[in-house]
Structure 1
Amino acid sequence: MTVQILTAENIQLNVALSTKEEAIKKTGQILVDKGYVEASYIEKMLAREELTSTYMGNFVAIPHGTEDAKDLVKHSGISIIQAPEGVDFGGGNIVKVLIGIAGKNNEHLDILSNIAIVCSEEENIEKLVQAKTEEEILSLFAEVN
């Protein structure tokens, strides 16, 4: 059985977030709800953030689990939360797009490189922040799937 890495159901638009912890938990909860990871993966995502920020610049954060969280991943998957109002990830770093990832085996490296390609273009970030439908976001990540 092939599980799609990213679907419209993995995307939430116009989410209001008050803290980075809430943002990470919501991003992880999508991965849990869609069957990509065990529930305890969210704790590993929060632990990863304690080790080093997943803020990537350009209003993007890519929360993911720690190295020892690999056993908690059932299938590779991506969750995307659009937060146009932004959430502070510390140090004045405002995040408007959260991309949660869970990679089975070493697939997370491929997923990350594909995300990095999309997010390296400022106009793509603007499109992600302004998107009105899940399909608009899916079309930007068509190469990732």
Structure 2
Amino acid sequence: MDEGILEKRAIRLDERAASRDDAIRRCGGVLVEIGAVDPAYVGTMLAREQSISTYVGEGVAIPHGTLEGKSAVRRDALAVVRFPETVDWDGNPVTVCVAIAAQGDGHVDILAELAEILMDEDRAEALRGATDPDEVLQILKGT
């Protein structure tokens, strides 16, 4: 995974969320905090979730904005947000959200890499249980 797309400061491993939408707002907030997106992007992340679930299995969701939201993206970035107490995502327990901000089609490659990680039970479990940002970076880089 491209090292520049996930900064250590965009990894939050001990968050709490009362609901799916609260979790999405928290993820979007991290993207705003690191300067990757304008605040308007968070609304498009919520709109995307209304049209199609971003839950991908193995306790992981990948919230991202709609096509219209691309104009609010300043630069491609990821945020990894872990909810140790899980969040109910339309009946599925989610522990990790990988929020995506992409101006072009860069997110397609990111999704493919995430799919590989999730298909590897050990890496998926390690991601759900990670408590250190460096650990997350290692898992996502496949080292």
- TM over 0.5, yes or no? yes
Q: Does 1:96 align with 2:95?
A: yes
Q: Cα RMSD over matched residues? A: 1.3
Q: Deviations over 1:96-141 (max 9, x none)?
A: 0000001121111111111221222121121112212100001011
3-state DSSP class of the match of 2:64?
coil
Cross-structure match for 2:11? 11
- Judge conservation of contact 1:103–1:111 (CA < 8 Å) in 2: no
> For residues 123 and 15 of structure 1, what CA distance do their matches in structure 2 show?
23
Amino acid at match of 1:87: V
Cross-structure match for 2:41? 41
3-state DSSP class of the match of 1:94?
strand
3-state DSSP class of the match of 2:5?
coil
Q: Deviations over 1:63-105 (max 9, x none)?
A: 0001111111111000011112100011x21100000001121
Aligned identity (percent) is 36
Q: CA deviation at 1:40?
A: 0.3
- Give the TM-score, by structure 1 length: 0.91
> For residues 126 and 84 of structure 1, what CA distance do their matches in structure 2 show?
13
Cross-structure match for 2:72? 72
- Judge conservation of contact 1:75–1:102 (CA < 8 Å) in 2: yes
3-state DSSP class of the match of 1:141?
helix
The alignment of Structure 1 onto Structure 2 pairs a total of residues equal to: 140
Structure 1: which 5+ residue stretches go unaligned?
none
3-state DSSP class of the match of 2:141?
coil
